[in-house]
Structure 1
Amino acid sequence: MVNERILQEISRDDYFSDAVRYFWDKRASQAEDQNNRGVKDQGSRSEATGGKHMDGFFSLIETLLLDVGVPAEDICTRKRNLDLPGFFRAEKQWDLIVIKHRPEGEKELVAVLELKSQKGPSFGNNINNRTEEVLGSAYDLWTAYREGAFKTSPSPWLGYMLLLEDCDKSRKSVRNNEPHFDVFPEFKNASYAERYHQTCLRLVRERVYSEVCYLLADQEEKMKARNYSEPDEMLAGTRFLRSLCSHLNNFYELK
């Protein structure tokens, strides 16, 4: 079992604060770097196209895995091969994978994580694309699993983390387009933040993902000790990480 020190650490109220601060700083530095080089991306795209702004979260989760006793060679991150076979496509590159290497040479797919973020102003242009992407990726992986793509691996833990900018535009009520039928009540005039909230809840309740972590962060509050919020306990970071550690217990003798 995971020891009490680690459980207390992941239960801290500001556990993700350094990663959130890194997120904002990295986006700003990428935009400045592109401007200095004369690269002109539209809107805030220059902050996103450089990548690596979620590296603070990758580092935090990788450190947790190592702390609880997962061997380094079993953890695949950005530095190593992250491709897994799909069913409707040849392969997909995920964000973090845990693969247990057994002494007899067999491999078991233990955990798969996808980490995403969205910053304004184009919430409306991106929310449907992001939802279709997260649903399609999960369906593709679970179908590949059913069809034996991962050999004799037990069912893996599939996690999704989303960091959304907390601002007036993401909190503002959005009018629905309903030319033929009504949208579900939870989406009626809901803000983009609430639409993402409902989507993330459904991903868990419908067992599309094992767990989902949904965070909101305001750039103006990045220097606060607690610089993000968790709109729903069911989608909180502590629940997300405890679930991951619980699943790992089935494969490793955790510290």
Structure 2
Amino acid sequence: MDQRSWEAAVRSSWDIRESQAAKKLLGGKTDTGGRGAVTGGAHLDALTTLLAQVFLDAGFPRDAVRSKSKVELPGYFRPTKKWDLVVLHEGELVAAIELKSHVGPSFGNNFNNRNEEAIGSAIDLRRAYDHGLLGRLRPWLGYVLLVEEAPASLRPGMPRSGTFPIDPAFTKTSYVDRYVILCKRLRSAGLYDATCLVTSSREADAPVRQPDLEVGFPAFVGAIMDRTEEFGVVQPKRN
């Protein structure tokens, strides 16, 4: 998989959002805050398909690489959760990947929600594994986040502090900066084995950016390939 394919998949998410929003308007339905562009789902399907192809190219059978159905995995704090991409090998869970997006106009209202979702999903699945609900293999977890490039997401600001001072790492940071910190810390804390953050404007032909290569696209795909090598399957050539 090359960089051009990844960027095209990111750009397609904007096309799908606009199409879904238009259909809702034609049907007389409106959602606040641009929510109508995503409630139809599918806007990250192209990215999911590309990541699934990495496992398929590595030799995993198609029925073991799941993205549309049979993606429910047991939790510890809840019965199940649907993951966006689930990969199996001989009945064991090889990998589970979550894909999310965050677009405007409101970044402040949903920033904590995205954090809580990412942290909670990983903790829930890790604890389920610890309690013997996911077989013998420790699952590999991945997290992909697409953030809209907009003045509100790129403008540095000072988070509000309460009773205690905030972590200095967040001082004078934009929401994109804070997502970089989130993705790095999700990985360093062992909640996810790999994370990926990409940004893009909704404008046509806008570039797709990687704010920090440590949590960029090549590193994420490389981590997937490292995981597949543990199972002795045929490996594709790395681009």
Query: Which TM-score applies when normalising by structure 2?
Result: 0.94
Match of 2:139 in 1: 156
- For residues 247 and 24 of structure 1, what CA distance do their matches in structure 2 show? 30
Whichever residue aligns with residue 245 of structure 1, its letter is M
Q: Structure 1: which amino acid aligns with 2:102?
A: Q
1:145 aligns with 129
Task: Output aligned runs, 1:1-255, within 5 Å.
Answer: 10=1, 12-78=2-68, 80-101=69-90, 107-152=91-136, 154-220=137-203, 222-223=204-205, 227-255=207-235
Distance 2:212 2:233 in 1: 31
Q: Residues of 1 paired with 2:22 and 2:216: CA distance?
A: 32
Q: CA deviation at 1:181?
A: 1.5
Count matched residues.
235
Q: Secondary structure at the match of 2:9?
A: helix
Q: CA deviation at 1:194?
A: 0.8
1:126 CA displacement: 0.6
What's the % identity of the aligned pairs? Answer: 37
- Encode CA deviations 1:78-97: one digit per residue, 9 max, x unaligned: 2x211111111111111110
Amino acid at match of 1:25: D
| 8 Å CA contact retained: 2:33, 2:104 | no
CA-atom RMSD in angstroms: 1.3
Q: Does the CA-based 8 Å contact 1:40-1:46 persist in structure 2?
A: yes
1:177 Cα deviation from its structure 2 partner: 1.4
Deviation of 1:64 (Å):
2.3
Q: Which runs of 5+ in 2 are unaligned?
A: none
AA matched with 1:37: G
Is the CA contact (8 Å cut-off) linking 1:69 and 1:252 kept in structure 2?
no
User: Which 5+ residue runs of structure 1 have no aligned equivalent?
Assistant: 1-9, 102-106
C-alpha contact 2:58 2:228 (8 A) present in aligned 1: no
Structure 1 length-normalised TM: 0.88
CA contact (8 A) 2:98 2:142 kept: yes
Deviation at 1:185, TM superposition (A): 1.1
Provide runs of 4+ in structure 1 moved above 6 Å. Answer: none
Q: Which has the higher contact order (CA 8 A, sep 6+)?
A: 1
